[in-house]
Chains A and B, each alone.
Chain A
Amino acid sequence: MADTIEKISLDMLTPTSVSVKKQQYVEVNGTEYPIGDPWRRAYVNSPSGRQQVVDEVAEPYRSAIFAVWGDEPTVADPVGESPAEEDAGSAE
């Protein structure tokens, strides 16, 4: 039985967020074919998002993310405020 290979890629890496994608592949006669659905998880450059990257993203992807994100968060953590208040501010 052919072994599966997991490939990780960083998509939409910006100073505010990143989407980490994992996809399984199987190699047949030297050609890699994706199997199953891709899995994704986004991280936001907030204090808690940065901690999640530290806890959950392996090297060298972690360093690649922080190379773009820098040393300080650019986004505040979710505060659970009423969306009506948030919308009123963003609609102006």
Chain B
Amino acid sequence: MAQIELLQPTEKIKDSYGKINTSLTNLNNELGTTVKQSVVLNAGTPLGSVVTSGFYRLAGSHPDAPSGIGHGVLIVSRGADIVFQIVTGFAGSRFFMRHGNPPEAGGSGVWQPWRELWHDGNLPYETGVWTPELRFGGQNTEIAYAFRAGQYTRIANVVYWTFGIVLSSKGSASGTATITGLPFGKTPGLGFDHSIARTVNIAVPSGQWPVSYIEGSTINLITNTGSSFSSTEFSNDSAIHASGFYFI
């Protein structure tokens, strides 16, 4: 087997106490008698009938395999009447596992359902930073910051975002206020209104409160009645802190 050929007969391995207790030559021999090369399962072989511990190559599709899994590899681990299987196809990095005590293994139960294993290939996860940028009427002319920062965490198709900005100058642009720079573009659909956690030195009409909704990669700043904020409501030392989520 390939892994055995890579071993050097003269090398030694140590146990956790540093004692040389086994030569790799001996380990090779031991492995050679206990670890078998993979067994090819003909197409159509029910995987539920494979209850002997070992490594199996799927030659085709199999009636009780997870949907879309074929031409892959099956690993079986059995202890008495309890069997564990993990299977993967030859492409797509999809993995499924199941266990049970079916009659095929001498048990009196059944196979539990296949469960797909999630990993960073099929359930993207990322945490990072983004740079919030205030704009009025789409422009950021002479806007300056005493502080600004943004963070995000993406899990699958959901992006959680937060940001804080503190102005040192609101600049000379005019028009509706927006925050640009979100890390991912939002899918079309609902606007996902969010309450803005905190504003400082931004004029809000009495009885109203600031909220936001996302369009593309832009956070629109409005009041709860739907009125937009503009540069006139901002001061040179305005601040906004907010968080929310959206779908991508």
Contacts and interface: CB of A to CB of B under 8 A. Distances in A.
A43 interface: yes
Contacts of B131: 39, 41
Given A38-B128, A86-B213, A78 B185 contact: no
B137 to A, nearest CB: 9
- Which size bracket describes the interface of B in this complex? 20 to 34
Interface in B58-109: none
A7 interface: no
B216 interface: yes
A67 B133 CA distance: 26
Contacts of B217: 17, 41-44, 49
Interface stretch (B46-54, B165-173, B198-206, B220-228): B220-228
Contact of B128 (A37, A81, A91): A37
A78 B130 contact: no
A41 B216 contact: no
Interface of B: 126-131, 138, 151-152, 176, 178, 180-185, 188-191, 193, 213, 215-218, 220, 222, 226-228, 248
Contacts of A17: 184-185, 216-217
Interface in A14-45: 16-19, 21, 37-44
Given A37-B129, A39-B131, A91-B190, A19 B185 contact: yes
A75 interface: yes
A78 to B, nearest CB: 4
Contact of B216 (A21, A37, A78, A81): A78
Name which of B128, B176, B190, B193 has the most chain A CB atoms within 10 A of its CB: B128
Contacts of A78: 178, 215-216, 218, 220
